[in-house]
Amino acid sequence: MKIVPTRRTDYAIRALVYLARDEDQMVTASKLSEEMAIPKGFLHQILPILQRNGLVTSRPGRTGGYLLARPADEVTLLDIIEATEGPLDGGECALKGGPCHWEEVCALHWVWSASKDAFADQLREATLARIAADDLALADGTATVPLDAHRGKKRTS
């Protein structure tokens, strides 16, 4: 099972990371698209979602653009994911109607619920400010690459 952001969430994170680099600087959608390799059509779908969820503000016109609606250290990865995908807890049984014979709870409930809560806690602790700082450190070559980094590894399947 893969646990990765959808394309919509990926592009939202990219856009917000760019806006977090200089929180007071108004940035056009064209600049966001160009700098973060986000297709313009997709970006024009994502920015209104981020605005409705209080993550960005915008100003129309020649001097307009987008900027963060609140400080990057107050925006969590969970905020971004829930803005683009909806609440993390869908309230569904982990067995999705499979061999679950119990009316109130399934046999996986305890482990699935605890795992979801731990995942949500990690997303809640990860701030946009930290992610943007990590992004800059990686770009500068000053970040320590973790041993479990997924890029550059040969996959065996």
Bridge partners for 68 per DSSP? 56
The residue that leads in pLDDT, 55 or 113, is: 55
Bridge partners for 40 per DSSP? none
* Residue-level pLDDT at 92: 67
* Residue-level pLDDT at 153: 55
The two structure tokens encoding residue 125:
């602790």
* Residue-level pLDDT at 97: 60
Using pLDDT thresholds of 50, 70 and 90, give the confidence band for residue 52: very high
CA distances from 41 to 30, 32, 44, 97, 120 (A): 10, 12, 5, 37, 30
Contacts 24+ apart (CB under 8 A), 2-10: 3/119, 5/81, 6/84, 6/85, 7/42, 8/42, 8/45, 8/46, 8/49, 8/84, 8/85, 9/80, 9/81, 9/84, 9/85
Using pLDDT thresholds of 50, 70 and 90, give the confidence band for residue 4: confident
Start-to-end CA distance of the chain, whole Å, equals 14
Residue with tokens 């930290």: 130
Domain ranges of the chain: 7-140
CA distances from 153 to 4, 137, 145, 148, 150 (A): 17, 21, 13, 9, 6
Listed range (7-16, 53-62, 68-77, 92-101) with the worst mean pLDDT: 92-101
pTM of the complete model: 0.85
The share of the chain scoring above pLDDT 90, in percent, equals 59
CATH code of the region 7-140: 1.10.10.10
pLDDT of 37 above 70: yes
